[in-house]
Amino acid sequence: MKKSIVQAKVYKVQQLNATVRSMEVIAPELAAEGVPGQFVNVRAVKGNTTLLRRPLGIADVCVPRGSIILIYRVIGEGTKVLADLKPGDYLDIVGPLGRGFELESAKPLIVGGGLGLAPLLMLAKFGFGNGRADLVIGGRCAEEITCWEGLFRGNVQQTFITSDDGSVGEKGTVMAALEKLLQKDYDCVYTCGPVPMMRAVAAACEKAGKKCQVSLEKYMACGLGACLSCACENAEGKRVKVCQDGPVFWSWEVKEW
C-alpha cells in the first residue's frame, strides 16, 4: 500500500475540551489516500524539543483543502510539543498506515469512547455517508462528551450517550445502551476506545450473534511493521502486528489485546 512521508503545514488548531485538541494539517496525498480506520505516525519539532513519532488515527479529511484532521489528548511533555504548534508550523507525517475498517455493513452501529471516537468520526462521515450509521458515545462526564456529540452531528442518524457520572445521557458505560441496541437489526458493530470497553463490546456482540470490528491501540515504535512493539496474538496463537495487520481487526481474529 502506498504511503507518503510529508512535511505537513499546520492550518488550524482547536481546543475541543479541557484536554483534547484537534489539528488540521495540509497533506493532499494523505487526504486523497487515507481510508477510515487508517492512522498516521507524526513527529513534531518545536525549538529544542522533538516529539517521538506517535500514531494518531485520521479523524477527518477536508478534500477541497487537501487536509487531514488529527485529534489528540494533551498528556505529558510529548503531546505538549504537538499542542504548542501553531498555524504555519510543520509536522512530519508518515502515512496513511495500517488496515482500515471493512465497510460491508447495511445497518452499522458505531460504539466509541474517549479518543477512540476520533477514527470513528471518519468512519461515520466517509465510510457510511449520508449519516447511515447510529452511534453510541461513552465517556466520563458531559464536559468530555459534548464536543464529540457536536463533531458527529449530521454524520450519524441516532446518537445514544452514556456517561459514568450520569451528567449526560444514560448513567453507566456504553454497555448500558448497547445491550438493548444489540436486540435491534444492526448487522455490524464498529468499536474503538479503552480496551476494557472494546472487550465488553466484542463479547456482547459475540453473544448476540453480531459481527464486530475493533480498532486496537498499541504502543508503536516504528509504525511500519519492523519492530514488533505493537504485536498481539491472533485466534490461531500467531503474532500479528497492529500497525500493519490492523489497527482494525474482526473481533474474532484477535485473542490477546
Contacts with ligand FES, residue ranges (CB under 6 A):
220-223, 225-230, 241, 243
DSSP assigned state of 52:
P
User: For residues 106 and 226, which CB has a smaller minimum distance to ligand FES in the complex?
Assistant: 226
Task: Report the residue number, 58 or 230, with the smaller CB distance to ligand FES.
Answer: 230
In the bound state with ligand FES, the residue whose beta carbon lies nearer, of 78 and 225, is: 225
Q: Which residue in the block uniquely carries the three cell numbers 505538549?
A: 80
Give CA–CA dist 36/34, Å, rounded: 7
| Least distance to ligand FES, CB of residue 24, Å | 26
Comparing CB distances to ligand FES, the nearer of 52 and 203 is 52
Q: Whole-number minimum distance, CB 115 to ligand FES, in Å?
A: 18
Q: What is the CA radius of gyration of the chain?
A: 17
Least separation in angstroms between residue 198's CB and ligand FES is 19
* Between 156 and 230, CB nearer to ligand FES: 230
Q: Three cell numbers at 215?
A: 480498532
Q: End-to-end alpha-carbon separation of the chain, Å?
A: 25
Sheet containing 134-139: order of strands: 170-171, 159-163, 134-139, 108-113, 188-192, 211-215, 248-250
Residue closest to 189 by CA, chosen among 176, 174, 172, 202: 202
- Least Å from the CB of residue 123 to ligand FES: 22
Block residue for cell numbers 512535511? 7
Question: Within 13 Å, how many C-alpha atoms sit on residue 182's CB side?
Answer: 22
CB of 222 to ligand FES, least distance (A): 4
